[in-house]
Structures are given as structure tokens and as C-alpha cells.
Amino acid sequence: MPPPTAALSVPSSSSPSLFPLSSFSSSNNPHVSSFCPAPTTLPKFPSLSKPKTPLRNLTPLSAVSIEKETLISERPHTFLRDADGGDDGSVRSRFQRMILEAQESVCSALEAVDGAGKFKEDAWTRPGGGGGISRVLQDGAVFEKAGVNISIVYGVMPPEAYRAAKAAADDQKPGPIPFFAAGISSVLHPKNPFAPTLHFNYRYFETDAPKDAPGAPRQWWFGGGTDLTPAYIFEEDVKHFHSIQKKACDKFDPSFYPRFKKWCDDYFYIKHRGERRGLGGIFFDDLNDYDQEMLLSFATECANSVVPAYIPIIEKRKDTPFNESQKAWQQLRRGRYVEFNLVYDRGTTFGLKTGGRIESILVSLPLSARWEYDHKPEEGSEEWKLLDACINPKEWI
């Protein structure tokens, strides 16, 4: 949730408007923390003006306040500053282009499969720099709620946020640290209990060097993942989903899928329940031990795999007949989704504690959920099989 929770205020909310603070977990401790869309031609909106307040004069964020986002009437062509080179072919500009195109592609596919619902779009900016585009489809024919949000933001990160980002005690500056962050994050909640919820989130992060040493390098890393949260298991669906994730990973490194699959199972763990939120997928964070160009291509491949991994499942299950008992079970599993996001997802909890935009932070939550006292599914039932798979993660392919 989820986490990706889903894109960043400072340093992030896990809502789909910014990327989750789960990106600040250590890569060494995951407990802490055939389709390719054609390039989208984006409308040429006027560029944002430079921030009125120079970066050096921004008030450091000590512990509580986050700069409030401001809604704007039309989205800009770019959220990058002139100092960043605009669309100059840098990793920053290409990642921005990738997430804008992914948002267009995913939203178009979701509207097509829903048939009735349309996405509402809100564009916003931050006083410190950057902004984002939030898109939400609600009460559609297929989707109860679907959010697909992006953000491209920069500013200064307080020391406590940097400690969350990079836990090494000897790798810290005493004061605020300039940062850049860009991400796409989405949570999709269908109405039909036989159609699974999906979460995905991909992000890129940069900070200045951790120490004021001459020639010290800028730090950067990638994070993200895509995971499936069904209420009922259809093995062919889960195998299809995981096979698409593996295919994306195998194009770059055969060790990626088993490594990131386990990381996903470990991360989306509801400790007080002793079970996972869903049936996993892939998840990675703080990834910077490979060539930067390779990781940019990998993140792009993963984002482009969302539609072929998910839409065929939705098309197959969206009209399956169901009864009240099956709907109630879906609502109970959504309760687990809510518990993970509000209790464990670091992006969500950070955003709530620091005054981030509440609509962005909580857009990942379903419209409805359910909690029953001491509910236990009958052993051997379809509901029990799902719960067992959440308690004991399986190898699906």
C-alpha cells in the first residue's frame, strides 16, 4: 500500500499523488520499509514560473509543517525548473516524461474498461517548487475508486526525513538537504469482489551529497513496485499477473524477480494480523547499485507493464455474478488494506503527521470497507484459501 500508499509532500505521502515514504526504507531491510504504449503527445501548457522564494531562503522544515499545495486551473507542460534544464534529456526530464505518459496510458485503459466513469483531474503546485497532477475516477461502472497520480517536486528535506531516507548514521548532514523527487502512484479498487485491487508506484529521488566535501557526488535512487490484492484467488489470474512482472524484470536481470517478489511479500505485511495485504508482485527501494540508465529503462518497463498485467484480469472478472456474502468478504479484505495503509505505510503516516494534502494522502483508500468482530472463514472455503495465501506467501510461477 500501500504502501507508492501512494506521490510527495516532503518528502512524501503514500497517496497516489506522491510517492510513498516507503522509498525511504533501507534496501537491506525490506521489513522497514508484450505491451508498450505509444508515446503520448502532451498538450503544450505554459511552463510554471520560477518560485518567488529562492530555495536558500526557504524556512527549514523542523518536524511538522509541509508547504501547502495550491490548485491551478491548467496543468503546465513541465514541472521542472529552468535550472534543471527543462526537457534537456536528463534523467529528471526523461523520468517526468515517462510518468506523464504512463498516467495517460493507464487512465485511458481504465476509462475504456469501465465504460462509464471518467477521471477528474486536479493540477497543483508547491511554493517550494514543482507540483503534480491527481486523477481520480469514482463510482464508475467497474471501479468504485481509481486514483492515478503523479508528482514532480523539489525543495529542502529536514534532517529527520533524510535519516528516514538513508539510515546510515555516518552519512548525514546536520541541516536541511536539497532534494528532487518524481513519482507516479496508483490504487485501483473495482466494485466486483472477483476483480482484484491493484497498487503500483514508481519513483526517482535525488539529494545533494550527504556531506559538504569538495567533489562529493549527488545521491540518487529508484524505487517502486506493482502488487495485486484480490478477495478471491483465480490461479490463472495470479499467474498471469506475476508472469508479466517476471517478464519485465528478466529483461534486465534474472535475479530481479525473485528478489523483488520476496521484498514485496515482506513489505506488505500486516504485523498485528500476521498476514500479507494481498498476493504480492514486485517491490524495490533505494535501488542505485546498477547503471542509472539501466534503472531508468527498468522503471519505464515496469510502469508500461501495468496495463497488460491488470486489464485482462479486470475484463475477465468485472461482470462475474456475486452474492452479498462474497461482497462482504471483499469489504473485510479492504479493511485489511486500510489497516496496512494507516498503520504501517510510512508515506501515509508521515503525510498525516506533517499536514500534507489530505485528499492526496487518503485517495488510496476504498470508498467502503468492513470490520467484523473475530471473523474467521470456514476452513477449506474460497475465503480461507485467500487468507491462507496471505499468511503463507506462494510461488505463483
Name the residues annotated as catalytic.
Answer: 199
Query: Of 7, 5, 344, which Cα lies nearest the Cα of 203?
Result: 7
3-class secondary structure, 350: helix
How are strands ordered across the β-sheet holding 219-229? 70-72, 120-125, 130-138, 143-157, 177-190, 197-207, 219-229, 281-287
Query: Of 385, 232, 233, 387, which Cα lies nearest the Cα of 323?
Result: 232
CA atoms of 258 and 280, how far apart (whole Å)? 12
CA atoms of 198 and 220, how far apart (whole Å)? 27
Rounded to a whole number, what is the distance in angstroms from the first to the last CA of the chain? 23
C-alpha cell at 344: 504501517
Q: Which residue has the cell 523542523?
A: 62
